[in-house]
Chain A
Amino acid sequence: MPDNSIDPVSLEIIWSRLTSAVDEAAATFARTSFSSLVRDANDYAVVLTDRQGRSLAQSSMSIPSFISTLPRSVRHFLDVFPMDDLKPGDVLITNDPWHGTGHIHDVTTARPLFRNGKLVAFSAVTSHVPDIGGPVRNSDLGTIFEEGLQIPRLKLVRAGEVDHSIVAMIGKNVRVPAQTMGDIWGQVSAHNMLQDRLDVLLDETAFGIDLIGGEIFSRSERALRRRISDLPDGEYNYVLKNDGFGDPIVIDCTVKIEGDRLSVDYAGSSEQIRDKSINVAETYTFAYTVFGLKSILAPDIENNEGFFAPFKVTAPKGSIVNAQFPVATGARGQIGHLLPVAVLGALRPIFADRKMAEGSGNSVCTMVGQKDGVPFAVSNFLNAGQGATMDRPGYDCVAFPSNLGNLPIETFETDAPVLVRWKRIRQGSGGAGHRRGGNGQSFCFEYVGDAPANCSFLIPRRKVPPKGAEGGENGAPARLIVNGTETAPYLIKSLAKGDVVHVQTAGGGGFGARGK
């Protein structure tokens, strides 16, 4: 064994402790968070990076997108605040879509971690905050300026001293300042815990962070490159079409495998859209592309900078998957959630045993109004059918690739003046085939409030249903029916007493011709 390496026992133990330290910080953050998206849907992440912003470990249960955006955020911070400018006790902040997670609703903070006066690492946290100003969540927005507050890369805390002007500025621009700032301070607690745990860990080991990081990166990268080398070289293309506003939106995905390298290019994809908020910043494109690759290629290999190294993701500037300032990006998930589907589609020819037909992302129904004279706001996630594979039918009503659960009927009726008529599996909506696609759901409620409420919908796959594979049929498209009339979901609707809303989410594609 060369002198500059760590033995396979010590490294395993250090690695395991790094992960548990990050998980401890994550648990601390989650229990103090005001955002139900954080607590119920894990819409947050904690990452530990080295001093160059290279990811060492991330919280285990976090949603996939942040795992690769967070280390990039640290590097974006370093562009503005070089290492020499950073002091112990500093905390950096941003929600810029291009430097953060792709939309302004996630606030990202990072703290440089020091040891014996030297910068050794960063703790970075991002989470969906309870409010960031702007209108009710919907996709019908022109530019980022209409979406809410933008926070550029700033120093929120300078060597332990809070910059109160930033706090005041954020507080003035959001509806629930105590809760939004509460979550940001929760992130800071997580940073502090990580600094403490890292101190203890480094006290007990003879190895420094750079050596540990080098081992983690090189071992992960080697394992992944071996996996890629086993795949046949070649170019694999998949074109996925999705509902547009006029023409369908196209995701044109080409995966190229050369030896131990894998690149994904989105040339040929639709252009960014100027008056809808479904545009995706490159950082989010990278995140969901890598999520798809990891799912099929290496679910067992740890996420860290070494894991990202063999992948290259490119998309034409100004395309919907590399959208440029100042387009709106709030509903980026509508497009971003299609990327793993496209990646899996492209790789079908080389994963005979893991081929999967298309499925659909979730719909969401958001409602705000008054109930018994008191304001209410509810978000109800309605999941759809997933694609079938050669070996099994598609899953009925399951979240993918995001992981947002539904609101129980009893909670929905308690929080909002509604009466649910039914919530059922939409039988027959999965595409037919040798294996049928997963069914979507049929969800119908009546508005029973005296005062009208505003209701907005994000419903994917209404026009272009999930495609079947290898002769399997397409899933049924999603539908929105208000008072018996087929309706487009984009505009905010006012619901009055007696209005009946019926959402049918899409079915997944079937696999293989029927009877075969």
Chain B
Amino acid sequence: MSKVGFRLAVDIGGTFTDGVAEIVASGELVVAKRLTTHADPGIAVLQVTEDLLRDMRELERARGVEFECGEVVHGTTLVTNAIIERDGAKVALFATAGTRDVLKMGRETRYTLYDLNIEFPKPLIPTEMIFEVEARMDATGRVLTPLDHAAVREQVHEMKEAGVEAIAVSLLHGYLNAEHEREIGQIIAELHPDAKVSLSSRVASEIGEFERTSTCVANAYVQPLAADYLRRLKKRLAESGIRAPLRIMTSNGGFTSSDAAAEAPIELLESGPAGGVRSAINTANAIGIDDVLTFDMGGTTAKACVCQNGLPELTYRFEAARVARFRKGSGLPILVASTDLIEIGAGGGSIAHRNNMGLLNVGPQSASSEPGPACYGLGGEQPTVTDADLMLGFLDPDWFLGGEMTLDKGAAERAIAALAGHLGIEPLETAWGIHSVVSENMASAARVHAAEKGLDPRKLTLVATGGAGPVHAVEVAAKLGMKRIIFTIAAGVGSCLGFLAAPARIDRAWSYIARVDKIDVEKVGRALAALKEDIREDMARSRADADSTVWSLGVEMRYAGQGHAIMIALPDTGFARAGIPDLVQAFERSYEETYGARIPDGVPQVVTWRLSAQSEAKSRAFKLADLEREKRRVDQPDRQRRVFLPLENELGDVPVHQRYQIRPGAKLRGPLIMTEAESTIVVARPADVEVLDDGTVSVALD
């Protein structure tokens, strides 16, 4: 019997741990879902894995083949949660003499203007755990004061005595010359070998002592936890008979080896959302669409990401553990390449209320899952988005979460009627108002996000995921003037599909600020060679195919004296003096495109170099495997339902389809509803609706 390869993806989310098994040759999928086990997240991972393996054995019997697992791709909120909940390791920091307050002082700004009692994010380590060292480089990386080894040895002893589990080292200009940081690293390895070590020059080799130190300390803070978790996970997988390599999804939308992840766990921060975006892009690419706005809406928040040319926008400035959840600047800065998402407080559980202006507002407060929307019947009395969607006929009270839960329509109507009374309008008008306002909140945020990137949302295609995404996508698109919306299959496990479509990817940065006419080309050459070697090692560890690796080098440039830099891609990963005129030309061209004009006497300057390697990103054509269980699930007759039609401003009968029962290639007309286990596609406007061969639903608004 021949062996057939399959891959596993498992994503630990806040509520559910999702899993997907993919038969590599056919792209067929089997999905599983379990409640996340917060005390020991590895348990749910194992449960999901066992569920998937059981399904695969069923398929083996049915098809007379033998399956073999080729890889496991994993994403987790472990790192994010540890930073939010402050249950990381006991960490100490080595900082340059005179800078021990760097984490407390930050950039000295307020993230909100009118709050007199603003809450600032607290550093992850107390000041008494910050040790100053007498060692100094200047801004060219030249050593002014050599490292005092004897003093450092004494300090390491002191840290060991204090029970420190991980040590961060972040010295001024360490991004230019890592010598002192490495020497300290060696002393730690000798005197306190059990301690994990994070060097700023390795974790985030970028200019700006506050942000770099913050990143380095955050990495140290989660290192022991992540290493321990990954070690145990590997063991558990082995016990389930899986010998395949374990790969870890990172914030940049790619994956890395579990060993590399254990060293730089801070790169795991946004793995789940990065996977969701990757999945949306994969679905769009498969039907020839490259420029998309991904829209993921769940119970408490909605996220969106702009993607151009089939790539997610990345940001190199991320924030962890915001104290004011949706406020930029209220978190700990983290300098790692991350998928650039916006997040707002708009989800199914968002509470509608009358604001102090007498207007209908929705969110950001959420009823969450406890007590949940009024219609859950768990004690929630305030009207939520889900209650409105139910009253509008968009959701089926008897078929919520694939029939696992029934909703109390009467409770939803009572909650909304009460709010309608406060507002002085009709209940149905209120329900539509809630749907419309929450969609407008998302559309407004997306408009501004697109404008920041210089894009017009009307030229993008919306890709909807998440439990509430498909319910609101058409309305959001209509508000943004977008015509086309696509709905991925298995949206409820979207992040996992993204993991399976993700390439191996490693990003490294190095700051070296110089006017273009004064670049030390040899210095750049040496630094890039070192970065490349470093990346190559990590790529090898993630067992990426070296032949298909795509390298890219970019450098952030600006005119000397400006604050912000723009990224310029270089043609290859080497850099020579001969390339400088081209670099200047590319910069000036890009500058003109972005800002409208060049600066006649401006002197271009290089700031931060960014090298990345990525294994070839293959567009994966996924479809759901034909399990017996799936068939039973979709065995529902089509019927009609009264739903609210915004253009008619009244309720009307529209057809309700079982999404996975529709023949691929079918062409339908909206208004219509399509239900599936994880969500409901609501098309309440006239539109062409097509079910594509892979099950993707494509909607073109009239």
Contact = CB atoms under 8 A, between A and B. Distances in A.
A463 interface: no
A279 interface: no
A403 B448 contact: no
A157 interface: no
B122 interface: no
A16 B440 contact: yes
A80 interface: no
A249 interface: no
Contact of B358 (A8, A404, A405, A413): A8
Interface stretch (B42-50, B110-118, B271-279): B110-118
Nearest to B513: A414
Interface in B275-312: none
Interface centre among A354, A406, A409, by most B CB within 10 Å?
A409
Interface string A25-39: 101100110101001
A374 interface: yes
Interface stretch (B8-16, B377-385, B424-432, B520-528): B424-432
A299 B109 contact: no
A7 B172 contact: no
B98 A356 contact: no
A43 to B, nearest CB: 11
B433 interface: yes
A27 B207 contact: no
A179 B172 contact: no
A219 B358 contact: yes
Contacts, number: 201
Given A399-B109, A410-B173, A374 B356 contact: no
B437 interface: yes
B70 interface: no
A28 B451 contact: yes
A185 B100 CA distance: 44
Q: How large is the interface on A (under 10, 10 to 19, 20 to 34, 35 or more residues)?
A: 35 or more
B424 to A, nearest CB: 6
Contact of B437 (A12, A27, A302, A356): A12
Q: Sort A-B residue pairs by CB-CB distance and give the 8 closest, nearest first.
A: A422-B98, A36-B563, A9-B433, A20-B444, A299-B114, A24-B451, A405-B107, A413-B139
Contacts of B652: none
A294 B114 contact: yes
Interface in B87-117: 97-102, 104-105, 107-110, 113-117
Contact of B357 (A20, A178, A220, A374): A220
A377 B559 CA distance: 13
B436 A9 contact: yes
B361 A12 contact: yes
A116 interface: no
Given A27-B448, A411-B208, A425-B101, A301 B357 contact: yes
A302 B97 CA distance: 46
B141 to A, nearest CB: 11
A12 B360 contact: yes
A162 interface: no
Contacts of B440: 12-13, 16-17
A17 B445 CA distance: 10
Interface of B: 97-102, 104-105, 107-110, 113-118, 120, 138-139, 144, 172-173, 175, 207-210, 354, 356-361, 423-425, 429-430, 432-433, 436-437, 440-441, 443-445, 447-448, 451-452, 454, 481, 513, 515, 518, 560-564, 594-603
Given A34-B562, A63-B113, A11 B120 contact: no
A354 B423 contact: no
8 contacts: A8-B359, A34-B562, A36-B561, A41-B109, A219-B359, A294-B114, A399-B110, A424-B100
Interface centre among B101, B108, B440, B481 (most CB of A within 10 A): B108
Interface stretch (A134-142, A280-288, A389-397): A389-397
B105 A396 contact: yes
A238 interface: no
A395 B139 contact: no
A8 B102 CA distance: 48
Contact of B595 (A32, A36, A40, A403): A32
A398 B102 CA distance: 13
Contacts of B358: 8, 219
Nearest to A200: B481
B515 A374 contact: yes
Given A9-B425, A13-B436, A179-B599, A20 B448 contact: yes
A182 B107 contact: no
Contact of B207 (A182, A300, A344, A414): A414
Interface string A472-490: 0000000000000000000
Contacts of A400: 110
A189 interface: yes
Nearest to B454: A31
Contacts of B425: 1, 7-9
A64 interface: yes
A299 B209 contact: no
A374 B436 CA distance: 57
Contacts of B210: 408
Contacts of B144: 419
A422 B97 contact: yes
B444 A17 contact: yes
A15 interface: yes
Nearest to A407: B107
A420 interface: yes
Interface string A484-511: 0000000000000000000000000000
Contacts of B563: 36, 39-40
B437 to A, nearest CB: 6
Nearest to A377: B561
Most buried by B among A354, A376, A389, A397: A397
